[in-house]
Structure 1
Amino acid sequence: MYEGALADLIDELGRLPGIGPKSAQRIAFFILSSDPADVTRLSAALTRVKDQVRFCTICFNVSEQEHCKICRDTRRTDELICVVEEPKDVVAVERTREFRGKYHVLGGAINPLDGIGPDDLRIRELMARLSSGLTREIILATDPNTEGEATATYLALMLKPMGLSVTRLASGLPVGGDLEYADEVTLGRAFEGRRVLDV
């Protein structure tokens, strides 16, 4: 339908996750009608992120330095490590302002259908971190889906013999939700994760 540079831009945008053909076309036409200075800033930001952003050599979170700001923060404890799938999960946990430990980013989850096994994740690096003996508890904060559960189970089996406390984030009903709209799995997990009320 389109040709040349516009078609190439639509194709490249369509390769981004969550961007379908119509969204790619809308974004391409937005860029086409944008001020050249805005497009130059976008282009510069894309180039800069590829040139400057890397993974922390300790936890594998994104960073512009060898160690991310969380690993450099001396107020954070090494006794707690929260294991997540992706760097965006670190941001989600940080927004709660409840966690004062450190993180380990696996870089995905076990998914045999996509050919992703334990060796494709940063599990060896996690085990090397734990050899220091500073960590007491590992919090498994993988996604509550089939792949996340498989990854959490695999890690729990590996970590339990090390004498560490291995916990999993509770899952259940969202705040503000109605009980009648909860599916069976969510409601079942809410029952499993129930806690004593301190009044």
Structure 2
Amino acid sequence: MTQTTKMEYSHPEVLVDTQWVEEHLNDPNIRIVEVDYDSLTNYHLGHIPGAILLEWKKDINHPLSRDILTAESYKNIIRKLCLDDDKSTAIILYGDFNNWFATFAFWVFKYYGYENLKLLNGGRKKWLDEDRPISKKTVAFSKGKFDLSESFKPISKIRVYVSDIRFSGKQKEVSD
């Protein structure tokens, strides 16, 4: 058996490293987004310079059903990030809890068809551990012109509903 010292990822193409992000802090073609469970304990204490805040409980998660946010809420987030319909701007997501909520946001953006997405490898913790620059300045952009077209449909193949997995009373074999 060959032992590997490098961690392998299923989809390394979605990751960016901290060095790359630091080199692109002033790049107008990227938006750095910190997704926090509790912004009072993280974003406002210091974040990657230029990062805008999305709060998982308020911005990404439906407040009543704890389900994915509505299309209208998604549209407002994209506008908050000052993005337009062309979707050419790269969104770099990172956050607390080992990127737990950033990866949920990644999935939400994918669900609504945004493809130019990356996750900061190592998230907030790695950025701080490497003593990279932080800022306490709250970032806001002018609103973008993004709109959902009338023909817009979420990418249903990445979401499964209970009715999709229920079987019709027949015993099914389950394997772990």
TM-score when normalising by structure 1: 0.32
Please identify which structure carries the higher helix content: 1
Q: Which has the higher contact order (CA 8 A, sep 6+)?
A: 2
Larger Rg: 1
